[in-house]
Amino acid sequence: MRNYEKTNPEKPIFVPSPVETKSKESVSKISIRDSGKNYRKEEGMRLPYSFLVIISGGEVRERNYFKIISDQERFKQIKIEFIADPLMLSPDGLLETAKYKQEHYKTSQEAEPDKIFIVTDVDHFITELLRIKPECKKLNINLIISNPCFEVWLYYGKFNTKPTDFKVPDDVLKISHCFKTYLGKKVKGGIAPTKAIFDISENIKNAKTHYNEDENGISELFSTNMFVLAEELLPLVENELKKLSTENKARIKSYKK
């Protein structure tokens, strides 16, 4: 039986800075307050269950996307350790953190993750993505790339066609910002990342349908391979998400009476 031992959640983990950072003082301090360190597998818990480490280049939307299913009191079949920090937003920094976590679990008493994922945008990081892609493959670290940004994944939870009405700016460095603005207008009130997880099945279907890679294996514009991570999650969270959705609808209905 697989056991996850409880450790001290207040103790920070120090992660080496990205390879291009020159200052020795620029060490990335990663808080594990959102990780699964307090998780202990319950006796008799039904399988399958999985432990995933997600290292993200985005702090807010991505963290909020996984927030609901990180509740281990409810979602008992999965343990998620989510890591994001302003000092490691670039792909180089994300890979250094992934390598550190991989080594940490190999040499510690804690159970090793089933899989480690790096979640990043293309944005202006294409050179770094090309550099880290071969090493990620070699180390069995899953590289999840959204082009231009994570909002493309959120988009495919609501729409089953490519965003052909989005006007791509000439300056490639502005595409990500403009797409976020576009999506906020495309969906009335915008898409709340904390609620977007309920669209995970549609996300997977639509994102897979419209996924394309360039000759270097990088997601093309309006493509995201987030469905790879989502397909890992779906069988572990689907039932509880349906129950939670039903409960929320019942609660809303009762408020209207």
Measured CA to CA, the distance from residue 200 to residue 153 in angstroms comes to: 10
User: Has residue 89 got a pLDDT over 90?
Assistant: no
User: Has residue 32 got a pLDDT over 60?
Assistant: no
The letter for the amino acid at 49 is Y
User: Has residue 1 got a pLDDT over 50?
Assistant: no
* Average pLDDT in the chain: 83
pLDDT score for 12:
37
Measured CA to CA, the distance from residue 139 to residue 143 in angstroms comes to: 11
pLDDT score for 62:
94
Average the pLDDT over each of 13-17, 55-59, 79-83 and give the range with the smallest value: 13-17
Mind listing the pLDDT tens digit for each residue in 171-221?
Answer: 999 999 999 999 999 998 889 999 999 999 999 999 999 999 999 999 999
The letter for the amino acid at 78 is I
Mind listing the pLDDT tens digit for each residue in 134-169?
Answer: 999 999 999 999 999 999 999 999 999 999 999 999
Mind listing the pLDDT tens digit for each residue in 99-120?
Answer: 999 999 999 988 899 999 999 9
